[in-house]
Structure 1
């Protein structure tokens, strides 16, 4: 029995040796490393890739129209010209408005003369009425005193009744004349006030008509409301524009320094995006150049394209970037969701799949290759964080040829069996299990 157990143990060892020999492609074959990399300290970023588009900010594009009807007398700009705020860019025939302005000016001059006449004449009339009132008051006082005196004399029988009656009559006439002069003075003052108000209102009306005429005349001068570049001209010199219920758009001016970017984020990724996240993007017209910004806000209203729901993330661009970009340009964006610096990293190409295990082949002294199962952290676009199982300075295989005796089902992902080269496993879209879009750098679009 003891010898039987020994033989069974030897048989099991032989079977294990044969299995290892088959796994590595035979006793005389060993894994061949075609390319290797060093485990080192660096940074790793988790990003979401998405497509964006350059747009003009609200107010950056102004369509300038004409509120005056007439012929374009002078078109002073063309497409591509730079204009400044307040610059006259076109003139409309304004002869009719100029005539109305002259008429309003003459009406204002007439009302001013009428007001001046009222202010000069009526004070004199008031002064005249005041003087006549003072004279009548003096006559009334004298007549009253004379009546008292005549009454005293008549009581002493020194004057006749006829003299007394005449004194009464003179006093009554003087009192009535005084009352009439008081009414005349009050009437003159009232007329003066009313005529003054009437003349002032006429002057204000004439001034308003003059301002209206001047304003309508300015409609013939089409000016640019902003600094920018002329992007469109719809009429030319000599053509007639008609201003009706809707203003006719003649010239479009674009401010090239006020641009923004709309990023279309897939509904499956929008939960990872928050305002303030850094964004890096590039455009096809400037290859090799990377622009940067940050998410300003995320619009709550979705946009459906090809039955896929997207949400717009807004990125404000500074004037320097805006000067180099153009509206409607397509951008290729990377939203930095998470970033770690000064951590141990390996290239994603060093991660290989063997069955359900993700392993790394470590190259030792003399070219010896050993398989290890590292503890991984944050997975980025090109590199993955290593939490354990590897040390700084270790060499790992990024391209490896394993012996070709393995079946296709058990061959590690990214390696070749029959002498072929290892693929670039672990790069975009080939990360660890559960690595969704953004973790391996896959685009958020579909």
Structure 2
């Protein structure tokens, strides 16, 4: 029986089902060789890419920018300092010979800055070396002696840096602006909150010295009164009793005196000595009772000279005592038929104005009931709360300024008292200042903000606050080089200068040391220079801890 061979698509032959299969010898070995020969081009391509990648990485190849692909990239600059952002041929940091660095005087221990212009004025970026006046040294000494100031690190090296721009146009494009260092007045103070109150030594609270009924009220709130002027009248029964007691004492004293005179007028030996002694004792007791009644009335403000009443009839004495203490103009208004002898006036003890009234006619009052408050408002007190840590800076006699809330004018006063204790809750120290209020514009219980003046300098060195930067260990400013405008080709350089800052006022800083008047510092855009300074300091550190 014959066999049939079936051709397959790949050229191999298999036997039909049920038939014997025949495979040519060596056909199985050819298959791997065929696959390998087909993969050689792919392997060669991968090897070429790997070699190219290694070569590019080894020689620091970079991918082209989109601008280069698009054909818009600026041509490469071979003369360019990438670190300092200026042409390499003009870079004063890389080529110090282009602008030699001036003398380095190092750290000034007295003023706490590097290359101190107060001690070495030749470091100032001015056309001519300035002369440091003695007053500038005294001003710096006062500022440093007053209180601790922010300190700079003595080992900071930032002051040796210079920030350079490629041109004046690049300075303008960076938004950098400058200002002249000038002299201006500045005031250093301790800020605080406070309240205006009446001067307690010029304030009087008035009440009736005896229980009684208010007979009449003669003054009202806001009325100006003089010392001794009657504000109200109280009907007090005790007043009538004391007046009657004085009359009785006067009568008893007169009788005792007559008895003594009568007995002493008799001939010697007729009257026993014992009787004379008893009569003298009665006279002494009568005098004592009279003086007691007189003093009791005087204690109520109803002064009377009992000796002026001797020899008067009882009716005349009662007439003199009936309206004792009342002014004549008020007495003339009284009805003599119905007016009582129990009236006691409430008088003002001082010149001032009535600031409070708590009484009406017919009201029952006693010594615990305040009827009026009278204040001399020509001077007021200012009570201030000072932080405990600032209290040591204060002393009696310092000037104080106070801005009451809701007003435009400021009050000026003088510190007159400093508390010896701090508040247990707030840890504040109470201080008091005296304010002149002759204009009458200050009000009791007015709150506001105050300033205790520590130091006033009429010719301080002032720069805008935005010119001063904390660069890590020192306060620094950027000073324009004195040769900035010498020629169009002169390097556009700004020097880093460490400064000691003092008082601050609004948007200005006092410079205790580090700058001299006439120098030019960067203000607006100074952050650009600070960023360049910090960039150049990366990896180096500006301070040694």
TM-score (norm 1): 0.62
RMSD, matched Cα: 4.0
Contact 1:65 1:248 in 2 (8 A): yes
C-alpha distance in 2 between matches for 1:403 and 1:199: 105
CA distance 1:403–1:298, change in 2 (3 Å): closer
C-alpha distance in 2 between matches for 1:230 and 1:123: 59
C-alpha distance in 2 between matches for 1:91 and 1:252: 16
Report which stretch shifted further, 395-404 or 190-199. Answer: 395-404
Q: Does 1:93 align with 2:93?
A: no
C-alpha distance in 2 between matches for 1:114 and 1:284: 71
Query: What pairs up with 1:317-332 in 2 under 5 angstroms?
Result: 317-320=435-438, 323-332=440-449
| Structure 2 equivalent of residue 78 of structure 1 | 220
CA distance 1:313–1:369, change in 2 (3 Å): farther
| Structure 1 equivalent of residue 396 of structure 2 | 275
Shift of 1:43: 3.6
| Structure 2 equivalent of residue 292 of structure 1 | 412
| Structure 2 equivalent of residue 201 of structure 1 | 285
CA distance 1:370–1:386, change in 2 (3 Å): farther
Query: What pairs up with 1:1-400 in 2 under 5 angstroms?
Result: 14-16=81-83, 18=85, 29-31=170-172, 32=174, 36-94=178-236, 97-98=239-240, 100-102=242-244, 104-119=246-261, 121-126=262-267, 130=268, 184-185=269-270, 187-212=271-296, 218=302, 220-241=344-365, 243=366, 247-287=368-408, 289-305=409-425, 308-320=426-438, 323-353=440-470, 358-362=475-479, 365=485, 370-382=493-505, 383-386=508-511, 390-400=515-525
Once the two structures are superposed, residues 230-257 of structure 1 have per-residue CA deviations (whole angstroms, 9 ceiling, x without a partner) of 122112012122x3xx532211222213
Secondary structure at 1:271's aligned position in 2? helix
C-alpha distance in 2 between matches for 1:26 and 1:38: 23
Contact 1:89 1:222 in 2 (8 A): yes
C-alpha distance in 1 between matches for 2:214 and 2:459: 67
C-alpha distance in 2 between matches for 1:371 and 1:291: 45
Shift of 1:25: 11
CA distance 1:372–1:53, change in 2 (3 Å): farther
Unaligned regions of 5+ residues in structure 1, if any?
1-9, 131-183, 411-446
Contact 2:164 2:494 in 1 (8 A): no
Shift of 1:65: 0.9
Report which stretch shifted further, 87-96 or 350-359. Answer: 350-359
Higher relative contact order (CA 8 A, sep 6+): 1
C-alpha distance in 2 between matches for 1:349 and 1:215: 70
Unaligned regions of 5+ residues in structure 2, if any?
1-76, 89-162, 303-342, 536-545
Secondary structure at 1:374's aligned position in 2? strand
Shift of 1:395: 3.8
Shift of 1:67: 2.1
Contact 1:40 1:345 in 2 (8 A): yes
Secondary structure at 1:198's aligned position in 2? helix
Shift of 1:312: 1.5
C-alpha distance in 1 between matches for 2:85 and 2:179: 32
C-alpha distance in 1 between matches for 2:374 and 2:246: 34
Secondary structure at 1:51's aligned position in 2? strand
Comparing both structures, which one devotes a greater share of its residues to helix?
A: 1
C-alpha distance in 2 between matches for 1:342 and 1:401: 25
